[in-house]
Amino acid sequence: MARFKELATFLEENRGVILAEWVEIVIKIEEYSATPKSELSSNLNVAFDGYISLMCHNDSKKLDQFLDFIAEKRMALGFPLHTVQRASSAFVPIAITLILSRFGKNSSDFISKAIQIMGYTSENLSVRYQALALLEHQTSMRQIEETVRQLMIEKERAEKAVTLKNNFLSNITHELRTPLTVILGFSKLLWKESIPAEKIKELGEIIHSSGSSLLRLVDETIMMAKLESGEDKIRSSYVYLNDLITASISAAKKDLKDSTHEWVTELCKPEPMIAGDFDKLLSMFFNIFANAVKFSPENSKIVVRSSVKKFDALIDVIDEGIGISSEDQDTVFEKFHQKDGASARKYSGTGIGLALARMVATYHGGDITLSSNPSGKGTVFTIRLPMARDI
């Protein structure tokens, strides 16, 4: 060990000479030609410490740390393995030349050790390059898999959107055709047939009702499109909540021709006031009430209950209908959503009512949530609207 300590001292004394020659050799390698000499000198200085530690003290820790660092750095820059091996191992012939000049015939063990270190360096760089290449491949594969997964999700979303839009077009065609058929048919009777005077008013009311349903459908479709695109703005005014609820119930009972349900109102006092767009809020309540009427049996109760919690007005709409399954609860507020299966054929609609209702609530700084028992025990829609402060 004493001889190797002597070697360590000798090499340390010649550190500057070795590093200068080492840098000149490396800079001539094509891949390193653009690397600043200061950077090369700094890196090779660390490598020098690693070589001395292994050659003279049998400690590979410093050299291993350098090889980890340089392999990752050079591979990231696209350096081929053989050029990095060549640059890192250039220390050995420089050191051997100096060792021979100093120790002469007594340098065989030093030279043997230096050659072993050259092999150690090349082999370990190769192992590290392979490990990094494998890691890069695995990372690339994970990225590809994630990209494919995201594309599949987007594909499914796109397919679902196309299906929903196709269903919407089919449903809205039916919803438009029904009142139009009534209007055209009954108006034809008025001018082509001899209608008793007492029947004219009845036919006129039917035509007016069908026209109102048609206008509501068109208005709500346009409202949703404008709110979604940001073209329509909320026109705020002070709105008395109880008056709004009462007007909405009257509109729903009239337009839906609902005379079989028992409507129960439990409205809080004093009456809350909210800031909002009366027409849009009326449409929101109408669609929630229409949903309750559509999915509730005749002669059942529909309860509308209001309350105040901190700065919000809460309105519960409680029906005794068929309930909403857990799966549908996740999608019931999506645009164009319709129930699947036999119930879809039984309960017609466009699929925009609840989506529009939540959109209006959201634009007013509120929300709509629901709780339901899918076993036919009914559904509770809870509308939250912030109470008026300053408009």
Per-residue pLDDT tens over the stretch 251-297: 888 888 777 899 999 999 898 999 999 989 999 999 999 989 988 88
Q: What is the pLDDT of residue 377?
A: 76
What is the CATH classification number for the domain harbouring 290?
3.30.565.10
Judge if 187 and 131 occupy the same domain: no
Type of residue numbered 298: E
| pLDDT over 90 percentage in the chain | 49
6 & 82 share domain: yes
At 139, is the pLDDT very low, low, confident or very high (cuts 50, 70, 90)? Answer: confident
pLDDT 10s digits, 343-384: 444 445 567 889 899 999 999 999 999 998 766 678 999 999
Q: Is 199 inside any structural domain?
A: yes
Q: Say whether both 174 and 267 belong to one domain.
A: no
Give the chain's domain count: 3
Q: What is the tens place of the pLDDT at every residue in 302-319? A: 999 999 998 999 999 999
pLDDT score recorded for residue 128: 92
Please report, for residues 109, 250, 264, 308, the alpha-carbon distance to residue 269 in angstroms, rounded to integers and kept in the order given. Answer: 101, 20, 16, 9
pLDDT band at 389 (very low <50, low <70, confident <90, very high): confident
**Is position 109 within any domain?**
yes
Going by pLDDT thresholds of 50, 70 and 90, the confidence category of residue 322 is: confident
The answer to the question of residue 156 being in a domain is no
Are residues 253 and 334 part of one domain? yes
Rounded to an integer, what distance in angstroms lies between the CA atom of residue 22 and that of residue 27? 9
Instruction: Return d(Cα 294, Cα 258) in angstroms, integer.
Output: 10
Is 243 found in the same domain as 365? yes
Give the integer Cα–Cα distance in Å for 322 and 376: 4
**pLDDT bracket for residue 226 (50, 70, 90):** confident
Domain-terminating residue out of 142, 174, 206: 142
Do 118 and 213 share a domain, yes or no?
no
Domain-located, residue 77: yes
Query: What is the average pLDDT value for the chain, to the nearest integer?
Result: 85
Angle at 150 between CA 145 and CA 154, to 5 degrees: 145
Looking at the structure, tell me whether residues 29 and 12 fall in a common domain: yes
Has residue 46 got a pLDDT over 90?
A: yes
Range of the domain at 281: 237-386
The CATH number given to whatever domain includes residue 120 is 1.10.490.10
Q: Which residue has the higher pLDDT, 215 or 33?
A: 33
Residues 338 and 303: their CA atoms lie apart, in Å, by 24
pLDDT-wise least confident of 73-82, 223-232, 311-320: 223-232
Strand ranges (E), the chain: 237-240, 262-266, 273-276, 301-309, 312-319, 367-372, 379-386
206 shares a domain with 114: no
Is there a single domain that holds both residue 259 and residue 338?
A: yes
> Does 150 reside within a domain?
no
CATH number of the domain residue 208 falls in:
1.10.287.130
